[in-house]
Structure 1
Amino acid sequence: MISSKALIDQTGISRATLNNYIQLGILPKPMVQSLSADADEGGARVLGFFPDDALERVQAVQILKSQGMSMAEVSERLVLTEAVLEMDELREFATQAEFSAASSSRKAKRVEASHIRKTALQDKAPLDKAPMNLNLSLDRLEHPAYMLNYNFELTWLNESARKAVFGFDAPPARSEQRNLLELISRPEARLSLNEQKSLARLHLQLASSRLSYETLEKIVIQADPLLLPILEDIQFQDQASEQMISEMEFLRQLPDGDSALYNVYAVYFREGMLVVHSPVSEQSDDLIHFLSRRDQVIQSLLSKRLPVMTPLAVLVADLQNSVRICSELPPDEYFSLINQIWSTMTPILRKYTGTHGKHAGDGVVYYFFPQPESNYLFNAVACAQELKEAMRKISADWQLKKNWYTELQLNIGLHEGQEWMGAFQSANHVEFAVLGNTINQASRLSDFARQGSIWATKDLISRLSTDERSRIDFGVLRKSQESGERFVPQTYAQIESLIDLQSDKYEKMRDIAQLAVAEIRRVTHTRIY
């Protein structure tokens, strides 16, 4: 153990810098100990102590900063990388312009372009066998690299990929225009028909590790039906686990007319597939080490995701009477309740391929984007129904736990539209955000919903397939003096016909006065109507 005073004295950093390193996660929180009266620590009665490797970690920070790296990049290397960096390797890195070492256990082998080699990547690669280039990051990849979602739509690319693969000045704004099979056929790509087919075959083969033939067939038909014969030749593999990458050799035509052989790596994430081209002639151990740091790679990819105009469904859910519930519960129990609700929502969200928007107090926002194997609109509806059922169980648990009569209810609003989607990044968090009226109207609809109900717009429900609509029990509760209340199925109503908008308590609803909506009471696996 080393004391904070000794660490400051030996490294020359200030106490403020030391606290900053702790906040960034570069150093762990110190273990505070009381000192004996004769302890020689500058008169301090209590002192923080760090693990023995703290001195080396601070020295590592200083070396990395001397290479021009920002604190965010330094933190990314030391926090997200699990392997402990040896100081002698860092010093060697500081004196070399390029750091690479050949791994004796790994030999390059040329294979046909249609052959895929599955390479299992260990989370902790021994540094003494293949020292990692600490400067390697998405920003420092010199060769073409880009990210595709599982609709084959481009979500990120580096400058090398823009020039060498796609050729455009800027990517198209709309998501459907970013399909890779369409992008490589555009005139600015300057690819011959044979080159287009080769690239299409390459990416279809890489995607076959995660997508079924039927899914890829749908993507190809929508983009370019003439490529279907290529799909017929693809050999589908068993789906790769998330701890593996695919590697293929690919012969690329260069602008000067020559050709070069490249290793093409595909790394698979829930959000899509990262593709990186690397010349066979270059050492690739550093690249593979970098790609194996999955958390680091996907965090960086999400933060750099290109803004895009995309179709989406929005789900906004709010806990009814949250202020009263907060006042009735002790603070620790209230936070326990909210955390239980969020943790219950997470697996349901993943099941229906939703994306977290942001937590707004005790409410949540989920986004649902087009998927290759399911209808994102129906996913949003089914997710809302399952959240409603899960909340009933949570409510029953807390009624039993607290012996109270409070009913915990989640009010949900659903809407769809086409909006700009991007990401906001803080030091340790990436949050997706949607700009436009769709989310505002879904939020208002959530405010309108009461007693744990689900309300969706006519726009969303009418865009479902006939079969999907037949599995939803939706409609409007009509009121009349003669007949009282009656639920009329498969109908809609404007908000202004359901509530008195002149009342002050409905002031926020005036923005959606003419929005046609319906209540969703039930979602089933079989047809209702």
Structure 2
Amino acid sequence: MARTGISRATLNNYIGLNLIPPPTVRKPEEVGGPTKIGYFPAWVVNRIDRIRQLKSEGMRMAQIVMQFMDEERKVLPAAPEPQPDLTYQWLEQIPFPAVLVNRSWEIIRSNHAAEDLLPTERVRGATSAVKNNFFAPFCIRGLMSGFTNWEDMLTPHIRLAKRDLSEDSLAQIYRGSEYHTEEEVMLLWRGAEPLDDRPFHHQTLVLKHFDGESRHCTLFSSALREGTLLLYVPIHMQLDRILDQLMGTVELFRSVLSREGPSHIPLCILAARLESDLHLRTALPPAEYFDLINQIILTSHQCFKKHGATPARSFQEGVVGFFLAADDSPQDYLFRALACGHSLQRMIGDLDRKWKYKQAWSNTLRLNIGVHCGHEWAGTVPSALAFEFTVVGDTLMETIKLSEFSKKGAIWASKKVIENLSPSERERVEFGIRLGVYQERFVSPNIYSPVKELLSRDELEGGGLLPISNLAVTEVVNVFP
């Protein structure tokens, strides 16, 4: 800025219009100054001087953007034959409109079902950031021309976007635009209350077409690594299946379901079962019992989502979560499973306190948790959402049995899980076996034991635990962040 004499606002405007690239942020070589500095390529100074010259000749910013695009187009080599992009192929398997946007609310990909909902035209000469933005002027004009209540449709999206965008960044999209929609959108923006930072939300939408047709749907949104997934679900579809989709399944589809056929993958499984469910069933009226189970499942799924897991179908009074290796950190899925179990203990503790206050009873809600890992075949089976993740193999059965072995809300993990942690991760896990008459209070640290050494023969047979009798296990007492 010192060399060119432009303001920070002008600099950000040029970056937003793709006239210059964003800076590369790194630590400066000199000590004692700022901890981070943004560095621009040397040619940016000449580009800013050229922009200043063109503006002095009377050119508007939109014309300047067009001129630089034309110049760059002339020197670009011929584009190669486009190849099919399978990265987001899973979006096409969703049977209702689905749109994936990044943190700047640029549309990464939408499926064919979304074409009737969102305009697909592109403005010649618009920068990529403007051209693909959900709030791009031409997109707003498309909503205006297609729906009589376009403001009501746009407002729920604004409430979501206000978690990612500032008013200034939205205003940059409209700079130099030939569409005069900025005033209406800004008015909606200022009047909309931002949603809280939960991993998923649902809002009701009414689509009123100019031909008089009206459709009701639910806008579900889920926070993903890339940004936000928007699902426009017909109002009659089952809520619980959509929640399963939002609470982690998409992350799994990207890494597993893009491959043809089943995949043999490493995974870690967490199974949690409600203790004393028969006693609770008799203590509560049916409506309240199902309300309790739904709260436990929803709480568990929220915890799975937070730790990057995918929930499976619930089994009786229990839940299952699958942890897969992530592309950016392929080794942390085992620790994520243990951390999830520890978080789940605290969340169920909070739920227990609420129900104690609500019912004025002495019952204690506990989830007995088992964590195990292995390599299994993973694939899909048909479901109401056209696909559902499933695992075939012994690991799932053994994990569920391990949760049945667990008592009093404890977390039990197999030796295989602990031993495959990295050294730094293992230091953050406190584990061991409770021994002797003081086992309620004393844990012999860092040891394992086969299940058959911790139970009598009658307990093994009566509890149906013979399949895991030789499995070496340990109790996870604490997991440190």
Aligned equivalent of 1:516: 472
Q: Distance in 2 between matches of 1:386 and 1:350?
A: 12
Counterpart AA for 2:309: G
Instruction: Tell me by how many angstroms 1:473 deviates.
Output: 1.4
Q: Tell me, what secondary structure is at the counterpart of 1:359?
A: coil
1:461 paired to 2:418:
yes
Q: Distance in 2 between matches of 1:124 and 1:116?
A: 15
Q: 1:101-116 counterparts in 2 under 5 A?
A: 106-109=122-125
> In structure 2, do the counterparts of structure 1 residues 121 and 321 end up closer, same or farther at CA, with 3 Å as the change threshold?
same
1:121 paired to 2:78:
no
1:399 paired to 2:356:
yes
Q: Distance in 2 between matches of 1:425 and 1:104?
A: 30
Counterpart AA for 1:492: Y
Q: Distance in 2 between matches of 1:428 and 1:124?
A: 29
Would you say the 8 A contact 2:273–2:317 is kept in 1? yes
> 1:365-415 CA deviation, whole Å, 9 max, x = no partner?
000111224711111000000101111111121112111111111000000
1:358 paired to 2:308:
no
> In structure 2, do the counterparts of structure 1 residues 399 and 512 end up closer, same or farther at CA, with 3 Å as the change threshold?
same
Q: 1:375-454 counterparts in 2 under 5 A?
A: 375-428=332-385, 430-454=387-411
Q: Distance in 1 between matches of 2:144 and 2:365?
A: 56
1:370 paired to 2:386:
no
Instruction: Tell me by how many angstroms 1:130 deviates.
Output: 8.6
Q: Distance in 2 between matches of 1:320 and 1:352?
A: 23
Q: Tell me, what secondary structure is at the counterpart of 2:349?
A: helix
Would you say the 8 A contact 1:358–1:431 is kept in 2? no
Q: Distance in 1 between matches of 2:390 and 2:274?
A: 21
Would you say the 8 A contact 2:370–2:411 is kept in 1? yes
1:340 paired to 2:340:
no
> In structure 2, do the counterparts of structure 1 residues 328 and 515 end up closer, same or farther at CA, with 3 Å as the change threshold?
same
Would you say the 8 A contact 2:414–2:474 is kept in 1? yes
Would you say the 8 A contact 2:98–2:230 is kept in 1? no
Q: Tell me, what secondary structure is at the counterpart of 2:464?
A: helix
Provide structure 2 residue ranges, at least 5 long, that are not aligned to the other structure.
1-91, 100-114, 148-199, 201-220, 235-244
Q: Tell me, what secondary structure is at the counterpart of 1:358?
A: coil
Counterpart AA for 1:120: N
Would you say the 8 A contact 1:354–1:367 is kept in 2? yes
Aligned equivalent of 2:57: none
Pick one of 444, 447, 457 that aligns with 1:488.
444
Provide structure 1 residue ranges, at least 5 long, that are not aligned to the other structure.
1-72, 83-98, 132-241, 243-267, 275-290
Q: Tell me, what secondary structure is at the counterpart of 1:419?
A: strand
Q: Distance in 2 between matches of 1:369 and 1:81?
A: 24
> In structure 2, do the counterparts of structure 1 residues 387 and 128 end up closer, same or farther at CA, with 3 Å as the change threshold?
closer
- Between stretches 302-311 and 341-350, larger displacement belongs to 302-311
Instruction: Tell me by how many angstroms 1:522 deviates.
Output: 1.1
Would you say the 8 A contact 1:317–1:412 is kept in 2? yes
Instruction: Tell me by how many angstroms 1:426 deviates.
Output: 1.7
Q: Distance in 1 between matches of 2:141 and 2:389?
A: 32
Instruction: Tell me by how many angstroms 1:270 deviates.
Output: 5.9
Would you say the 8 A contact 1:121–1:292 is kept in 2? no
Aligned equivalent of 1:16: none
Aligned equivalent of 1:52: none
Q: Distance in 2 between matches of 1:342 and 1:468?
A: 28
Would you say the 8 A contact 2:272–2:318 is kept in 1? yes
> 1:125-146 CA deviation, whole Å, 9 max, x = no partner?
8479699xxxxxxxxxxxxxxx
Q: Distance in 2 between matches of 1:292 and 1:451?
A: 40
Instruction: Tell me by how many angstroms 1:107 deviates.
Output: 2.7
Counterpart AA for 2:452: E
> In structure 2, do the counterparts of structure 1 residues 308 and 450 end up closer, same or farther at CA, with 3 Å as the change threshold?
same
Q: 1:144-223 counterparts in 2 under 5 A?
A: none
> 1:342-374 CA deviation, whole Å, 9 max, x = no partner?
222233222110111111122110001112247
> In structure 2, do the counterparts of structure 1 residues 347 and 448 end up closer, same or farther at CA, with 3 Å as the change threshold?
same
Counterpart AA for 2:375: Q
Identity value in percent: 29
Q: Distance in 1 between matches of 2:321 and 2:230?
A: 29
Q: 1:7-86 counterparts in 2 under 5 A?
A: 76=95, 80=97
Instruction: Tell me by how many angstroms 1:521 deviates.
Output: 1.1
Would you say the 8 A contact 2:434–2:440 is kept in 1? no
Counterpart AA for 2:469: A
Q: Tell me, what secondary structure is at the counterpart of 2:132?
A: strand
Q: Distance in 1 between matches of 2:360 and 2:334?
A: 39
